[in-house]
């Protein structure tokens, strides 16, 4: 997912747009350990200790060791779209991040996705029916392709006022400057 922010005279609007880091993973994902070794080599999970330390400084207790499945996130993106249609997009994003990064939830599991959606304030039964369908699958895939064609290849990725883009994690001051630059443009 990447986030696009468009200014409004009263309140900025935030939209979460689909972007899959690993669109070629099978629908059921792959074992996290296998994924980490493919990406970073043996012992590659050490790369996450720095992120965990920074997270702790800002009150996020990352639990990377709890993650057992590296997911294909297509259905998680469908959940985001469903949340947006029901005015719960930010809540769904936060719930998904908590489920995955703090609880180690398997985001290929539709029951886990439904639980994350319910925690975000969505109706569980309606959400389960939605996830069981193929609804919005093509919309998510199109959005992912559009992001790639626009040159997005990593997350986080921010677009401010459809003019200024910032890729990667940055200090708040850097993001604020990008927002100000976008408003001037």
CATH number of domain containing 122: 3.40.30.10
Residue 2, pLDDT > 80, answer no
Query: How far apart are alpha carbons 179 and 175 in whole angstroms?
Result: 6
Q: What is the pLDDT of residue 135?
A: 97
CB 168 within 8 Å of CB 154:
yes
State both tokens at 61: 């207790």
**Which pairs count as long-range contacts for 146-150, CB under 8 Å and 24+ apart, including other chains?**
147/2, 147/17, 147/18, 147/19, 148/19
pTM passes above 0.95: no
The dihedrals phi and psi of 30, each to the nearest 5 degrees, come to -135, 160
Q: Does the residue 49 lie in any domain?
A: no
Higher pLDDT, 122 or 163: 122
Q: How confident is the model at residue 118 (pLDDT cuts 50, 70, 90)?
A: very high
Q: What is the pLDDT of residue 184?
A: 86
**For residue 7, what pLDDT is reported?**
52
Tell which wins on pLDDT, 79 or 184: 79
pLDDT digits over 126-178, tens only?
999 999 999 999 999 999 999 999 999 988 898 888 888 899 888 889 999 99
Domain hosting 94: range is 2-29+71-184
Q: How far apart are CA 16 and CA 77, in angstroms?
A: 9
- Cis ω before 28 (30° cut-off from 0): no
Please say whether the beta carbons of 137 and 74 come within 8 A. Answer: yes
129 within domain boundaries: yes
Instruction: Give the Å distances, CA to CA, from 39 to 21, 26, 67, 116, 152.
Output: 12, 16, 16, 27, 19
- Number of domains comprising the chain: 1
| Token pair 């290849």: residue | 153
Which residue reads 């997270």 in tokens?
Answer: 55
12-30 pLDDT per residue, tens: 678 899 999 999 999 999 9
Residue with tokens 């408003």: 183
Residue 55 counted as domain residue: no
In a domain, 172, yes or no: yes
158 within a domain of the structure (yes/no): yes
Predicted pLDDT of residue 10:
46
> 166: part of which helix (H) or strand (E)?
strand 164-167
pLDDT for 55 equals 87
Indicate whether 105 belongs to any domain. yes
Residue 64 lies in a domain: no
pLDDT digits 0-9 by tens, 43-88: 777 778 888 888 899 899 999 999 999 999 999 999 999 999 999 9
Residue 177 falls inside a structural domain = yes
């Amino acid at each position: 997912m990447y986030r696009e922010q468009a200014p409004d005279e009263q309140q900025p609007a935030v939209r979460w747009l689909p972007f899959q880091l690993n669109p070629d993973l099978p629908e059921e994902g792959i074992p996290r350990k296998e994924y980490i070794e493919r990406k970073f080599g043996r012992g590659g999970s050490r790369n996450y200790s720095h992120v965990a330390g920074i997270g702790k400084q800002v009150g996020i207790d990352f639990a990377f060791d709890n993650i057992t499945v590296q997911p294909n996130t297509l259905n998680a993106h469908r959940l985001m779209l469903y949340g947006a249609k029901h005015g719960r997009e930010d809540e769904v994003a936060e719930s998904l991040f908590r489920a995955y990064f703090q609880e180690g939830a398997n985001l290929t599991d539709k029951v886990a996705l439904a639980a994350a959606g319910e925690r975000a304030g969505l109706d569980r039964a309606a959400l389960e029916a939605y996830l069981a369908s193929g609804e919005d699958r093509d919309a998510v895939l199109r959005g992912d392709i559009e992001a790639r064609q626009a040159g997005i290849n990593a997350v986080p990725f921010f677009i401010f006022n459809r003019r200024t883009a910032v890729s990667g994690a940055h200090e708040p001051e850097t993001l604020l400057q990008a927002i100000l630059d976008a408003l001037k443009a």
